[in-house]
A and B are shown apart, each in its own frame.
Chain A
Amino acid sequence: MIPRHLIITVALMLAVVLGMSVYVWRMRGRVAPSEPATDARPVAPPVSGPTEQVTLYVAYDDPGVLRAQSARIPLPAGRQERAQELLRALLGLYLDKSSPHPLGGGAEILEVYLVDPGLAVIDTNATFADSHRSGILVEELTVASLVETLSANIPGITRVKILVNGKERDTLAGHADLADFYDVSAMGQMVSQLQ
């Protein structure tokens, strides 16, 4: 004859197993299947608020020119944040499939710093420079596009410096000089020749 205490212990253990099984079954149903990653690029926080009309200086490789284009984009209130959003909007055009001046996928504007008096520092990620096509004209179009778009929409910028991943670099992709500061007024001559 089976002792009574043994029957009680087995019954309790069966009850625990049954309870655990029900709990696990319920927990499994609560976990949603995860989506596979489609874009590894970090996404900038969306800018809310009303849109503003700005002038973007867009490079066109085919005739090798720079064209002023009006666009409406949402801009934050802060001057530095506005500068960043402006250049991110410009880069968005270049990263589009139908870009007139394609940049390498993953190219980004990390930060734009405005330093008084009149200095703007554009910090790009390494992909921006590493994946850029090499050539005098193609590189100058990128630089002129960034500098002119910034100075045309953010008043008071007189000099621009371009960094790559926070560091100084000699050239963008072997040609355009990144070691020096760009004088916005002198840049006007280059821009007018490119238009």
Chain B
Amino acid sequence: MRWSSNPRSGGVLRPSSVAALLLLSALFLSSAADEKRIAIYSAAANYSLPVSERDGRDYVGVLEVLEPLGTVGAKTEASRWKLRYNSVESEFTAGQTRARIAGVDLDLPSKFLLENGRGLVPLSSLTTLLPRFLGGPVVFHETSRRLFIGNVAVHFTAQVSKTNPPTLVMDFTSPVNPMIATEPGKLRMVFSHEPLVPPGSQTLTFDSKTIPSATYQESNGAAEITVAGSVPLLASFGNDGRTITIAPAPRGAAPVPAQPAGLQAGNSVPSLQLQPGISAPAASLNGPVPYFAVVDASHGGDERGAALSDQLAEKDVTLAFAHRLKQELESRGLTTLLLRDGDTTLSLDQRAILVNKAHVAIYICVHATSLGNGVRVYTVLLPASEESRGPFLDWETAQSGFRAASEMAGTSLAAELQKNQIPVRSLVAPLRPLNNITAAAVAIEVAPPAAGGIPELNSPEYQQLVVSSVAAGVVAVRDQLGAGR
């Protein structure tokens, strides 16, 4: 029998040290939160990408930048890297600053880098490169790494009412869904997914002693509005997310903790509910809760998964699907952690520990297969095991308190896939690490489409169709999943 705080059965320490893994998970999550990112806003999708530092300069993968915006393909020929976006051909040379796009030469501010078939361009070159590909201008806030493609900006106004108590009413030109945190003397709203642009002045002052000012700032791909208050403040949403009203918190309600409070996604009042028989660590109540979902690209590194064809390994297909699913979820306002962002090996226990540490609402594991067609949605078939005791959950059956949420999510995913004419089958299976996850947990196994063979698993159109359906399925039950956290 295994316990969530103990090593695996038989007295054998597996993984070698749970403490080491917890440390690893903490480092992993903190590094994920601190890593440099660029946010890209467009009419097609809002998404963010990691920024790599090379020789003191910021670089980004140009294929990843263009991928959500159209059809892209890349080819490496020795040191030359050819990229096609829709009908625009381009050519870059590793170690050179000269590039050619649509038959026109241009110079990059620093050399082009080619790493494992991935083309990296200096961040500052995007304002020159992208208009050549997209045929229109872009606006780049370089210090905060926020890139606006086309006329997508969201503007806002802020006004304090003269009522008693006074309230700050903020009107936005499009629906917003910021992460909200309350601290003594201020309320912070972080807009990671919205193309919010600054008002005329970075600091807004109001004729009110209760809410004297609000400041706007941008950093690391996000915009942030901080509202100062002489009393604890609460935020509420209205007008389909276009209006945020900030008012003093009623006395006795929602006490402001001494330490920074938890972030809330699109909801001003914390609504954490503990599942029966589960002891939530203190961190889930008071620590940051940055992610709504975890997307897990199964396999990776030494573990290739199924050999889908001579050239196609399951681990590569799942990673491509997972990247798209993350972008799709984030474009719908759901903060998402990608558990495996490269070709790395993660054990099933490590995955479960990382997910449980993140306190997310839903875990989605992506698999791929050459058998059959369409998508199979799995929830867990729990193994025969001992019961949980006291505050400790049995590691093997940690999912037991979340089965209803998992089934609800699985049903919603299947319904959305069916709506999009994708053959779908809902099944239960004894599948790790679903049984170890303390959140709603589903796995999807993506097979080729009914019309088309195994290579279709790699087609951007098919991948997008599947991930859009899955994301729509998650969004349809987001409130129920969020309430269960």
Binding site for B on A (CB under 8 A): 61, 64, 133-138, 140, 143, 159, 170-171, 173-177, 179-183, 186-187, 189-190, 193-194
Interface hits, B305-331 → A, CB 8 Å:
305-307, 314
| In contact, A190 and B348 (Cβ under 8 angstroms) | no
B445 within 8 A of partner (CB)? yes
* Contact (Cβ within 8 A) A180 B430: yes
CB nearest to B432 among chain A residues? A177
User: Which B residues form the contact surface with A (CB < 8 A)?
Assistant: 8, 299, 303, 305-307, 314, 348, 367, 369-372, 376, 378, 381-385, 396, 425-432, 435, 443, 445
Query: For the complex, what is the distance from the CA of A159 to the CA of B396, rounded to whole Å?
Result: 15
- Shortest A101–chain B CB gap in Å is 10
27 A-B pairs within 8 Å (CB atoms) are namely: A61-B371, A133-B306, A134-B306, A134-B307, A135-B306, A135-B370, A135-B371, A136-B378, A136-B431, A137-B427, A137-B445, A138-B371, A140-B429, A140-B431, A173-B306, A174-B299, A174-B306, A175-B367, A176-B429, A177-B432, A177-B435, A180-B396, A180-B435, A186-B381, A189-B428, A190-B429, A190-B430
For the complex, give the distance between the alpha carbons of A190 and B383 in Å.
Answer: 12
Contacts A174-B303, A174-B305 known; A135 to B369 CB distance under 8 Å? yes
6 closest cross-chain pairs (CB), A and B: A180-B383, A183-B384, A134-B306, A135-B369, A177-B430, A181-B384
Provide the bound-state CA to CA distance between A181 and B381, in Å: 11
A190 engages B305 (CB within 8 Å): no
* Contact among A134, A140, A180 with B305 in the assembled complex (CB-CB below 8 Å): A134
CA distance A159 to B369 in the complex (A): 29
Q: Which chain A positions have C-beta within 8 A of B367?
A: 135-136, 175
8 Å CB contact of A181 from B372, B376, B383, B425? B383
Report how far A170 CA is from B396 CA in the complex, Å.
Answer: 13
Known: A174-B299, A176-B429. A137 touches B369 (CB 8 A): yes
Does A193 lie within 8 Å of B428, measured CB to CB?
yes
Interface contacts (Cβ under 8 Å), in number, total 89
Chain A residue numbers with a CB within 8 Å of B305 are 134, 174
CB pair B371 A64 closer than 8 Å: yes
Q: Which of A64, A136, A159 contacts B429 (CB 8 A)?
A: A136
Q: A135-B306, A193-B428 are in contact. Are A180 and B372 (CB under 8 A)?
A: no
By beta carbon, the residue of chain B nearest A186 is: B381
Nearest CB in chain A: distance from B260 CB, A = 39
**Closest beta carbon of chain B to A181's beta carbon, Å:** 5
A159 to B384, CA, bound (A): 7
Distance of A171 from chain B, by nearest CB (Å): 7
- Quick one: which of B383, B426, B435, B443 has the most chain A CB within 10 A? B383
> Are A136 and B381 CB-contacts (below 8 A) given A175-B431, A176-B431, A190-B428?
no
**Residues of A with C-beta under 8 A to B445:** 135-137
Set of chain A residues within 8 Å of B348, measured between Cβ atoms: 170
Beta-carbon contact of A182 and B430 below 8 Å:
yes
User: Is the beta-carbon distance between A137 and B303 smaller than 8 angstroms?
Assistant: no
Chain A, residue nearest B396 (CB): A180
Query: With contacts A134-B305, A134-B306, A174-B305 known, is A187 near B381, CB below 8 A?
Result: yes
| A174 to B, closest residue via Cβ | B305
User: How far apart are the CA atoms of A183 and B429 in the complex, in Å?
Assistant: 12
Known: A140-B429, A190-B427. A182 touches B306 (CB 8 A): no
Please report the C-alpha to C-alpha distance between residue A186 and residue B306 in the assembled complex, in whole angstroms: 27
